[in-house]
């Protein structure tokens, strides 16, 4: 159906549904922000004003989740909020193994089945 053919009632419902979903997302983010602040305070790691601002301005759920996990064991709030460690790119020398015949023959252990001795 063309946008100009959508009834006002359908358009109103669609706008309301989108707004509701956006509100739920914002609520989840705010809940994670509050949970992180409570965990830090309960562990005796109250955030500075700058750290609190960083937490409350964060809108990425993945970042907040990572910080919540870190908050469980970190020894400082700055440790919790430290940037994520980057992983080596796939295919980089540190993540690949050679499958050349020379490599596999040196590292593969051969196991031969032995018949039990009588």
Cβ(33)–Cβ(64) below 8 Å: yes
CA–CA separation, 94 and 81 (whole Å): 27
Task: Give tens-digit pLDDT for 30-78.
Answer: 999 999 999 999 999 999 999 999 999 999 999 999 999 999 999 999 9
State yes or no: pLDDT of 114 exceeds 70: no
Write down the mean pLDDT value for the chain. Answer: 81
Instruction: Write out pLDDT tens, residues 25-43.
Output: 899 999 999 999 999 999 9
| pLDDT confidence of residue 8 | 82
Q: Output phi, psi for 106, to 5 deg.
A: -80, -30
Write down the pLDDT at residue 9: 83
Q: What angle do CA 17, 19, 23 make, to 5 degrees?
A: 115
Domain ranges for the chain, please list them.
Answer: 29-84
Output the CA–CA distances (angstroms, integers) from residue 68 to 63, 79, 107, 112, in the order listed: 9, 12, 41, 50
Counting beta carbons within 10 angstroms of the beta carbon of residue 58, is it exposed (0 to 12), middle (13 to 18) or buried (19 or more)?
A: middle
Whole-number pLDDT of residue 65: 96
115 pLDDT above the threshold of 90: no
C-alpha of 108 from chain center: 36
Share of the chain above pLDDT 70, in %: 69
Q: What are phi and psi of 77, to 5 degrees?
A: -65, -35
């Amino acid at each position: 159906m063309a946008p100009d053919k959508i009834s006002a009632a359908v358009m109103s419902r669609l706008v309301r549904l989108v707004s509701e979903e956006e509100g739920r997302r914002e609520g989840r983010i705010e809940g994670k922000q509050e949970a992180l602040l409570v965990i830090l305070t309960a562990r005796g790691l109250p955030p500075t004003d700058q750290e609190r601002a960083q937490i409350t301005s964060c809108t990425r759920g993945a970042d907040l989740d990572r910080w919540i996990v870190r908050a469980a064991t970190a020894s400082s709030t700055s440790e919790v909020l430290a940037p994520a460690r980057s992983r080596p790119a796939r295919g980089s020398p540190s993540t690949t193994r050679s499958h050349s015949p020379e490599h596999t023959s040196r590292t593969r252990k051969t196991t031969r089945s032995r018949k039990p001795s009588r």
